[in-house]
Amino acid sequence: MSNSFYSQEELKEIGFKKVGNNVLISKKASIYSPEKIEIGNNVRIDDFCILSGNIMLGNYIHIAASSLLYGSEKGIIMEDFTTLSSKVSVYAISDDYSGNSLTNPTIPDKYKKLDKGPVILRKHVIIGSGTVILPNIIIGEGTAVGALSLVKKNLEEWSIYAGNPIKKIKGRSKNLIELEEQFLNEKE
């Protein structure tokens, strides 16, 4: 299994801005502008993921297969203990779909209107499979987002959301804070 992931030596050669310890990145993942990407400790990035632009990953993070992170210049931040299930798409930049401008990266900026803004996933956020997160979003600490959701507004902390349009379903248990403390104490 370990040969499916880059070795620590290979990770250093890729040229990340920062790369921590115990990092597993699939050799089938695509990394663009690694000099703009910071990766903490205990991070796993699975097959067919794409990471591009300014991205900061904390500690104990999993990005499941076929997920996309387009950080652009505004950036994506995933704080500690966050998870993206498979096929999640996170965009810090998006074209204007109104028809009032041209679209796609082959067009000069003067003909385009882009929606740009940072995306921040606070600590203990989990995002369900197939979810799309648009630019300029903060997902509050401890929040869970159900599969196939569209996130185009900020989400409150310690809540469970789902749907398109996304709706708050209920509050989320904070029991995992105690579990985090136990886990980290055992590691010492």
pLDDT at 70 over 90: yes
pLDDT, tens digit, for every residue of 50-62? 999 999 999 999 9
pLDDT, tens digit, for every residue of 162-181? 999 999 999 999 999 999 99
pLDDT at 9 over 90: yes
pTM of the predicted structure, to 2 decimals:
0.96
Residue with tokens 């050799």: 27
Give the mean pLDDT of the chain. 97
- Work out the pLDDT band at 44, boundaries 50, 70, 90: very high
pLDDT, tens digit, for every residue of 123-177? 999 999 999 999 999 999 999 999 999 999 999 999 999 999 999 999 999 999 9
Query: What per-residue confidence (pLDDT) applies to 187?
Result: 82
Query: What per-residue confidence (pLDDT) applies to 2?
Result: 54
pLDDT at 110 over 60: yes
Q: Give which of 43, 94, 79, 80 is closest to 64, Cα–Cα.
A: 43
Q: What is the 3-state secondary structure (H, E, C) of the chain?
A: CHHHECCHHHHHHHCCCEECCCEEEECCCEEECHHHEEECCCEEECCCCEEECCEEECCCEEECCCCEEECCCCCEEECCCCEECCCCEEECEEECCCCCCECCCCCCHHHECEEECCEEECCCCEECCCCEECCCEEECCCCEECCCCEECCCECCCEEEEECCEEEEEECCCHHHHHHHHHHHHHC
Q: Which domains does the chain have, with CATH numbers?
A: 8-186 (2.160.10.10)
How far, in Å, CA of 132 to CA of 148, rounded? 7
Both tokens of 132, joined, read 């799309």
- Work out the pLDDT band at 102, boundaries 50, 70, 90: very high
pLDDT at 1 over 90: no
Which amino acid, 127? I
The residue count of the chain comes to: 188
Q: Which residues have C-beta within 8 Å of that of residue 82, sequence separation ≥ 6?
A: 58, 61, 121, 122, 123, 124, 125, 126, 127
**β-sheet bridge partners, residue 51:** 31, 69
